Structures are given as C-alpha cells and as structure tokens.
Amino acid sequence: MNIQSTKKPVNTPYQKIINSKVGRLVRDNKVGTGATAVGATAVISGAAFQSDTFAQVAEHAILPAVGAGVSVLGAAAVHDAIVNDVGEKNIKATAKIALGSAATLGGAQVVGMSYNIPILEDAFTGLVFDHGQSLVGGALIGGAAVAGKAAVGQFQKATRSEEKVTPLALGTGATVGTAGAGLAGIELVGRDLNIPVADRALSGTIEFLAETPAASVLGGGLLVGGAAVAGTQAAKNFGRDGNPYATAALASGATAGALGGLEMLGHGFGLEATRGLFTGNAPLVGSLSLSAFGGAVTKHAVDKIAEDGATPFRALSAAAGTTAMTGGLALAAGSLEQSGLSRFLGDGTSVVAGAGLGYSSYAFGKSAVKAAKEKKFGTALFHGAGAATTAAGGLTAVGHGLGIEGLERVGSKVAEYTVEPLAEHVLLPTLEFLFENPIPGAIGLAAVVGGFAYSQLKD
C-alpha cells in the first residue's frame, strides 16, 4: 500500500502563505522565529505591566490581532489538508487538521477573551474540556468518511481489475471499519449533547448483534476475513519495504479484528473458549499497537537519516520511536502478568531512550558546529544547548536503566555545568532585561529582526 499519488497539489491560501518570501524565511529560521516570539512576549508583558495604557492597547489591539492571525492560519491549514492531503497523505492530513483546528479555536478564544464575546471566549477550552467527547466523536466521524472513501475506491478497483478477491476483501473490511468508527463517533456526540438514540448508536448495535447469533456469526466472519486480508497486506508491505505507518496500522487492525471476530463467532456458535478473547485482552492489543507504531516511527526516521543524514528532529524521532516500541512491549508483558519480564523491558526502555538521546546529542552537536561555521550564532547556541540537554538526559536514563548510579550522577553534572549556567546566566537575564526595559528591548529586537529580514528578502 505504498502508493504514489498523481494528484496535482492545489495552490491553496495556506500554500501561498508558507511559500511566500516571509513564509520561507520563517521556515528556514525556526530557531530565530521562536526566539523572536519569546522575546516579543517578554517585551509586551513588561510594557503592559509598567503601563496601564499599553496594557489596554495590548489587550484590545495586539493580542486579538495575533489571535486572529493564528486562527486564520489554522483554518487555512485545515482547508489545505482537506484539499491536498486527505486520501493521499492521511497521516499528514490528520496531524494538520488536528493542529490547525486547535490553532483556529485557540486564536478565536484569544479574540473572544479580548472583547468579551460570549461564544468565542470559550472556543478552545469549552470544546476541549467541556465537550471533549464531541471533539473525539467528530474526529471519528471524519475518519469514517475517509475510510468510506477508501472502501468505495476498493470496490471500484474490483470492477476494473482481473484480481477481485483482495480489493473486495479490503473494501468489505473498510466498510466494516467505516460503520464502526461512524457509529462510535455518533454515540460520543450523542452522549455529550444528550441526543436520544444517537447516544447509543454503537453500544445499542453491539448489544443487538450479541443477542442475535446469526448477526454475531456474520459480523465475526466479516471481521476475521478483513483481518486475514489486512495481515496478509501488512506482511507484503513489510517484505516490500512499504509505508511503515500503513504496515503498523494494518498489523494492529489485523490483530484486533481477528480477536474480535473470533470472539463474535464464538458467541454466535455458543463457544465458551472464545469468550473474552478480545474484550479480555484489549490492553494487550493496545500495548502491541503502541509498539508497532513505535517501530514505524523508528523505521521512518532511520530511513530518512540513511537518505539525507542525521538532523536533531530525525534523531529525536528515532529515539521516541524506539522508546515507544520497547515501552509497548513492557506494557504488554505487564498485561500478561509477567512482572519480571515487564520490569526487564521497562529498564530496557530506559536504556533505549538514553541511547536515543545520546544519538540526538550527536545530531544537535553536528548542527551546532555547522551553524557556527555559517556564522548563525543564535542557531548554534540553540543546538549546542540541545546537545547538552540530550546528553545529560541520555546519561541519566542509561544509568537509571542499568542501575549505575555513577552514570546518573555524571548526567546531573553535565546539566549542572552546561544547561543550568546557560539558563541562569544567559536566557533568564535576557528575558528579565526585556521585561524590565521594554522600550530599548523592542528597539533592539526590531533592529536585529528587521535587519536580518531585510538582508534575506532584499533580492
């Protein structure tokens, strides 16, 4: 399922923003952009603290303007994901829609709080904290729509190709997944908003199937059949070096579908041996799924490192992936009540995380040296701090996992003589100066940022 898309990207407003001169400047100078944002926040906060007049300006002009800008950019990202990514790069689409939606709602809430607009002032926190079930339900319904589109595509493929068994099985499996995700999403929204009938969309369906042996047999058979196809496709993907995320998703779905289908079949036939096969082992399935997706993250990061070299982000991704992979195995052992194995794997997870942080330290250091040679001293300082931080964390984690207190102490000393002095003697004093002296701080920031931007954009 490693399919290359032939769809031509649409030049959406989001694409125009990120590919503009200013957008490229921000993307190429992430460290400087972040530092500028932190410095500007300190300046504005200090000015507002010292002047009631400026506090009013900040509350009713600066903050809502920033909030509106963030909200518009978030909405543009969501639109771009729907237009360009859904159906083509679904993982990227999911991440972009989630982050874009959060930015849209968060920015809208800033505007609402600045002007006391009743609906907008709770746009983000109200939805996330008060109506979290509706939020998750909406995401499930959206996922069901994507799965439905995939199901239709598989059935259409079956009508056009000579090989019909696989696309028909995939289409059937996707249809079952669409129904399950859609009903689950509807039920969550129904529960949250107290909508009759909708609040039992999935649970009522399951209870009906459980009470009807024929329906249990039919549903279980569909799940087992879909699981067999998904497992076969996962094995093919692995052998062909296919998309690691698709492989992990297929393997996890095959495991869950097989266990759930066998349990339903057993219920339909009145077999006691299959009782609780899925429902009693759901934590195990979840733990193994975490491990599978950790492996996918690791493989993707390692492949990118092999192709284009190590960067801090790729190294950290590899570290996170391997940690999730071993951590998932430790949780799986715990769910099987294998306490000794679980502790061993837990310590191993700490060692793996430490090794990953150690490699990340190398990547940060390499980037710091490169930035210094290019006379990008701010970036060099940032990456140097990242190298020290990850080195300290890596030594501490390895020492903890292996039970070597000396390594843990070394990690603490590395942090004491690198990260702590940087924070105490550079970062905090700089922020304190900007907060306590907002006017010269603003002038200095404007001069540095404006001069750099001019030098980059003048051509």
Tens of pLDDT, residues 25-76: 888 888 788 888 999 999 999 999 999 999 999 999 999 999 999 999 999 9
The secondary structure element, H or E, covering residue 114 is: helix 90-115
Q: Which helix (H) or strand (E) holds 417?
A: helix 405-417
Q: Band of the pLDDT at 3, cuts 50, 70, 90?
A: very low
Q: What's the pLDDT at 319?
A: 92
Delimit the domains of the chain by residue range: 291-417
pLDDT of residue 4: 44
Do the beta carbons of residue 46 and residue 434 sit within 8 Å? yes
Q: Would the pLDDT of 273 be above 50?
A: yes
Query: Per-residue pLDDT averaged across 9-28, rounded?
Result: 89
Tens-digit pLDDT profile for residues 314-371: 899 899 989 989 998 998 888 777 888 888 988 899 999 999 999 999 999 999 999 8
Short-list 407, 406, 315, CA closest to 361: 315
User: What's the chain's average pLDDT?
Assistant: 83
pTM of the prediction? 0.67
How much helix, strand and coil, in percent to the nearest 5, is found in the chain? 85, 0, 15
